[in-house]
Structure 1
Amino acid sequence: MILAFDTYYYNEKAKTVCLLFDKWDAAEPKQVFTEIRDNANEYIPGEFYKKELPCITALLEKIDLTNIKYIVVDGYAILDDEGKYGLGGHLYNYLEEKIPVIGVGKTNFQTVEERKREVLRGESKNPLYVTAVGIDVDTAAEYIKQMYGKYRMPTLLKKLDTLTKEI
């Protein structure tokens, strides 16, 4: 099983949504989890994970992780080629390095090159940027490429983004 997380911020609240799906090419999630938190942490430049990680971990407490093989987050797992952790890396640490985390970014983060893969999907000329911890980045990029949908953004990740913004 695979989990994918995204968080949306509005009116000093944070809405985190998680989709559970069973295979990379799944068209629909098996289950949807949601958590809304008041008083979302402030954004600190270069430390985005401090804002979003508490939202994800609060929702994770409601999910049985027994059969979870991978987690996908909106953002970066690694921030540079020395291995500085981004949101995905900090989540991997929180999970005691038991579940690999794949970060999928929509914009290029210039400080990481060797540990990042560009994934082109559909007919898009704009890649997704994949980083990973606990799994080889080439394997992670292949998994994201295999996800269902004919556009740049896999269908489930687009659905996830849409669900976070429904208030």
Structure 2
Amino acid sequence: MILTIDVHYKTDYAKTVLLFFENWQSETPSNVVTHITKDVMEYEPGSFYKRELPCIMNALEEVSLEELEAIIIDGHIYVDNDGKYGLGGHLYEALDKKFPIIGMAKTSFQSNTETVVEILRGESKNPLFVSAIGLEKEVVAHHIKNMFGEYRLPYLLKLMDQITKEE
């Protein structure tokens, strides 16, 4: 089982979506869980994880992670080439390093070029930036590149994004 997570911020709360799917070739989710967090921290430049990580951890308390192979987040594992953690690295630590974390971002940092693999999907000329902790980033990039869907974002990740933004 693979889990992908995203958080969308509303005026007075955050909506976290957990979308589970069976394997890298899945075309449909096996389960979707939404969680609302009321007391959301303000955004702190350079420390985005401090805002997002509590929302993710609260949502994860509602589900079983027993058969989980990996977790995909919308973001980076590392924010620089020296291994400084981004959201994905902090999530890995918060989960006691039990689950590999995959970061998939639509934008890059100039300071983390060595910690990501750029992939192109579909007809897009804009790469996705894939990183990982607990798995080899090149293996993960191959999986993401070959996920179901013909566009830049794999179908299930785009679906999760759409669900996250629904009222």
Offset of 1:101 from its aligned partner?
0.2
Letter in 1 for 2:163: L
CA deviation digits over 1:98-117, x for unaligned, max 9? Answer: 10000010112111011111
Match in the other structure for 2:162: 162
User: How much identity, in percent, do the aligned residues show?
Assistant: 50
Match in the other structure for 1:73: 73
CA deviation digits over 1:57-112, x for unaligned, max 9? Answer: 11111111110010000011111111111111111001111100000101121110
Gaps of 5+ in 2: none
TM-score by length of 1: 0.98
Match in the other structure for 1:120: 120
Gaps of 5+ in 1: none
1:14, 1:67 → 2: CA distance? 27
Give the alignment's Cα RMSD to 1 decimal: 0.7
Match in the other structure for 1:108: 108
Match in the other structure for 2:144: 144
2:56, 2:126 → 1: CA distance? 27
Match in the other structure for 1:84: 84
Quick check: 1:76–1:88 contact (8 Å CA) kept in 2?
A: yes
TM-score by length of 2: 0.98
2:15, 2:44 → 1: CA distance? 19
Structure 1 moving runs of 4+ over 4 Å: none
The aligned length equals: 167
2:135, 2:12 → 1: CA distance? 35
Say if 2:9 is the partner of 1:9. yes
Letter in 1 for 2:131: T
CA deviation digits over 1:109-138, x for unaligned, max 9? Answer: 111011111010011100101111111111
